[in-house]
Amino acid sequence: MNNFEFKNPTKILFGKGQIAKIAQEIPANAKVLLLYGGGSIKKNGVYDQTKEALADFEVVEFGGIPPNPEYSVLMKALKVIKEEKIDFLLAVGGGSVIDGTKFLSAAAFYEGDTPWDLLTNNKPVTEGMPFGSVLTLPATGSEMNSGAVITNEEKKEKLAMGGPGLFPVFSVLDPEVVRTIPQRQLANGITDAFTHVLEQYMTYPVGALLQDRFAESVLQTLIEVAPAIQKDPSDYKAAANFMWSCTMALNGLIQKGVPTDWAVHAMGHELTALYGIDHARTLAIVVGSHYKYNFESKKAKLAQYAERVWNITTGTEEEKAQAGIEKTEAFFHSLGIQTTLSEYTENYKGTASIISERFTSRGWVGLGEHKKLTPSDVEKIIEMSY
Ligand code: NZQ
Ligand code: ZN
């Protein structure tokens, strides 16, 4: 659950025109598989820039990786990797394409019969085929971490994998790609990155003054740039700050030496698996209920967050903490993101027990920073999210 090894060796190429530099980062004579999604890169010039940069390499292409990268599609790409004797992977896209590529990196070296086992065996991946990325959607942080989340439509499952062998060798972060991102995805990106910080911050105080302020600064920057980026995604300064915030939210830095939660993500992934709700929106559905349900154990950090990030300076600790939850939901609403499950699906009744049963059957009995949340707690939190 995103709690992977974070000895980060990814080289970041940040800024305008950096796609042109990727040739220097790929081993000479490598046979490259260029992986992409539904075709946005062909409309915004990113595909052309990438092909131009790869002019001296032998390149095979694999397009059509869908949002919430689907196992059966990735298995077709794996066949291409083997048949074409590929030795370097290049993901050009958002979190889904990069995550799909991470799975392929691991699957290419996997010796078992069923690569889906990589998602269920809970073993960190220590070795994979080398890969780089050209990020087109700031959101997940996948471009600088070693985790991936893969969907299996047939099994209606969405599970995480990762390990020290799955860091990209390099990632290009050119903020100019932001200008073609649709409003829905911009809102998703801001919400996802914001929640990544919350998952590593909204726990209990451990005296990590610097880490707390790192986390708060990412939150404040996202709050500051959100209106500018939504008004005009071609605002380069806003796009650059948005992009860097998303990367820093989940590249390992802010989690050093502090407890982390990640229960919101664990519950959110189930809502995507069951109803296909966008990843970021599932987090917005769960986060408020999670904090209300765990109010006692999280109230000190909630109050600190309210004070430092939202400037709530009056009231008791409880009142500030409560205001922190309200401000968070109001922020998501301001982005156009709904925060209850019933706003996304009519068939929400029964969801809580389905998810709690899934957690029980997987043996997921100790979630959250105290490793104490049981499937029955999860059931109550999801019910509060209806
Ligand atoms: O597929 P294309 O045509 O490229 O269109 C995509 C897709 O439809 C479009 N898009 C991307 N860049 C664009 C663009 N459209 C126009 N202009 C651009 N520059 O956006 C749509 C969504 O893309 P996707 O990659 O699915 O979004 P996102 O980056 O939010 O990734 C979500 C996936 O990442 C996982 C999520 O669970 C979900 O499966 N996560 C991965 C994490 C990680 N590896 O660390 C952590 C996260 O918590 C998250 O779980
Ligand atoms: Zn996320």
Q: Which of 176, 209, 224 is the last residue of a domain?
A: 176
317 domain residue, yes or no:
yes
149 pocket-lining for ligand 1 (C-beta < 6 Å): yes
Q: Which of 176, 199, 221 is the last residue of a domain?
A: 176
User: Same domain, yes or no, for 73 and 136?
Assistant: yes
Q: How far apart are CA 271 and CA 156, in angstroms?
A: 10
188 pocket-lining for ligand 1 (C-beta < 6 Å): yes
4 domain residue, yes or no:
no
User: Same domain, yes or no, for 168 and 191?
Assistant: no
Residue 44: CB atoms within 10 A of its CB come to: 15
Beta bridge partners of 11: 170
Which ligand number lies closest to the CA of residue 69? 1
User: Same domain, yes or no, for 186 and 136?
Assistant: no
Percent of the chain, pLDDT > 90? 97
The structure's pTM equals 0.97
Q: What is the pLDDT of residues 111-148, one digit of tens each?
A: 999 999 999 998 999 999 999 999 999 999 999 999 99
19 pocket-lining for ligand 1 (C-beta < 6 Å): no
Q: What is the pLDDT of residues 228-249, one digit of tens each?
A: 999 999 999 999 999 999 999 9
Q: How far apart are CA 341 and CA 338, in angstroms?
A: 8
User: Same domain, yes or no, for 279 and 155?
Assistant: no
Residue pair 233/180 in contact (Cβ under 8 Å)? The answer is yes
- Ligand 1, atom 42: nearest CA belongs to which residue? 140
Q: What is the pLDDT of residues 83-118, one digit of tens each?
A: 999 999 999 999 999 999 999 999 999 999 999 999
Averaged pLDDT score across all residues of the chain: 96
Instruction: Please report, for the domain that includes residue 98, its CATH number.
Output: 3.40.50.1970
User: Same domain, yes or no, for 170 and 199?
Assistant: no
The DSSP output letter for 232 is -
- Ligand 1, atom 48: nearest CA belongs to which residue? 140
Predicted confidence (pLDDT) at residue 1 exceeds the cutoff of 50: no
Beta bridge partners of 92: 36, 134
Sequence-ordered list of residues with C-beta below 8 angstroms from that of 72, at least 6 positions apart, any chain:
152, 153, 154
User: Same domain, yes or no, for 221 and 136?
Assistant: no
Predicted confidence (pLDDT) at residue 5 exceeds the cutoff of 80: no
Q: How far apart are CA 368 and CA 374, in angstroms?
A: 9
User: Same domain, yes or no, for 161 and 230?
Assistant: no
Beta bridge partners of 148: 161
282 pocket-lining for ligand 1 (C-beta < 6 Å): no
pLDDT bin (cut points 50, 70, 90) of residue 8 is confident
Q: How close is the Cα of 176 to the center of ligand 2, in Å? A: 23
139 pocket-lining for ligand 1 (C-beta < 6 Å): yes
Sequence-ordered list of residues with C-beta below 8 angstroms from that of 198, at least 6 positions apart, any chain:
219, 261, 264, 287, 328
For ligand 1, mutation pick of 134, 140, 186 (most atoms within 8 Å of CB): 140
* 301-310 mean pLDDT: 98
Residue 197 has what pLDDT? 98
68 pocket-lining for ligand 1 (C-beta < 6 Å): yes
Comparing CA positions, the residue from 163, 103, 159 lying closest to residue 129 is: 103
Domain that holds residue 135: 11-176
156 domain residue, yes or no:
yes
Q: How far apart are CA 301 and CA 202, in angstroms?
A: 6
User: Same domain, yes or no, for 345 and 271?
Assistant: yes
- Ligand 1, atom 41: nearest CA belongs to which residue? 140
Predicted confidence (pLDDT) at residue 3 exceeds the cutoff of 90: no
Percent of the chain, pLDDT > 70? 98
User: Same domain, yes or no, for 201 and 283?
Assistant: yes
185 pocket-lining for ligand 1 (C-beta < 6 Å): yes
Q: What is the pLDDT of residues 321-361, one digit of tens each?
A: 999 999 999 999 999 999 999 999 999 999 999 999 999 99
Q: Phi and psi for 199 in degrees, rounded to 5?
A: -65, -25
Instruction: Give the nearest ligand 1 atom to 44 CA.
Output: 17
Q: Which of 176, 206, 225 is the last residue of a domain?
A: 176
Q: Phi and psi for 273 in degrees, rounded to 5?
A: -60, -40
Q: What is the pLDDT of residues 157-206, one digit of tens each?
A: 999 999 999 999 999 999 999 999 999 999 999 999 999 999 999 999 99
180 pocket-lining for ligand 1 (C-beta < 6 Å): yes
Q: How far apart are CA 349 and CA 351, in angstroms?
A: 6
Residues 50-56: contacts with CB within 8 Å, 24+ apart?
50/19, 50/22, 50/90, 50/92, 50/134, 52/20, 53/19, 53/20, 53/21, 53/22, 53/23, 54/22, 54/23, 54/26, 54/90, 55/23, 56/23
Which residue is associated with the tokens 């062909």? 42
44 pocket-lining for ligand 1 (C-beta < 6 Å): yes
148 pocket-lining for ligand 1 (C-beta < 6 Å): yes
Instruction: Please report, for the domain that includes residue 310, its CATH number.
Output: 1.20.1090.10
315 pocket-lining for ligand 1 (C-beta < 6 Å): no
Q: How far apart are CA 254 and CA 212, in angstroms?
A: 8
114 domain residue, yes or no:
yes
251 domain residue, yes or no:
yes
User: Same domain, yes or no, for 134 and 154?
Assistant: yes
Beta bridge partners of 147: 162
21 domain residue, yes or no:
yes
Instruction: Give the nearest ligand 1 atom to 188 CA.
Output: 30
301 domain residue, yes or no:
yes
- Total domain count for the chain? 2
CB-based neighbours (< 5 A) of ligand 2, an ion: 192
Residue 152: CB atoms within 10 A of its CB come to: 17
Supply angle C-alpha 70, 55, 144, rounded to 5. Answer: 45
Which residue is associated with the tokens 């939150």? 219
5 domain residue, yes or no:
no
User: Same domain, yes or no, for 158 and 186?
Assistant: no
User: Same domain, yes or no, for 255 and 187?
Assistant: yes
Which ligand number lies closest to the CA of residue 142? 1
Supply angle C-alpha 129, 130, 133, rounded to 5. Answer: 125
- H or E stretch at 152: strand 147-152
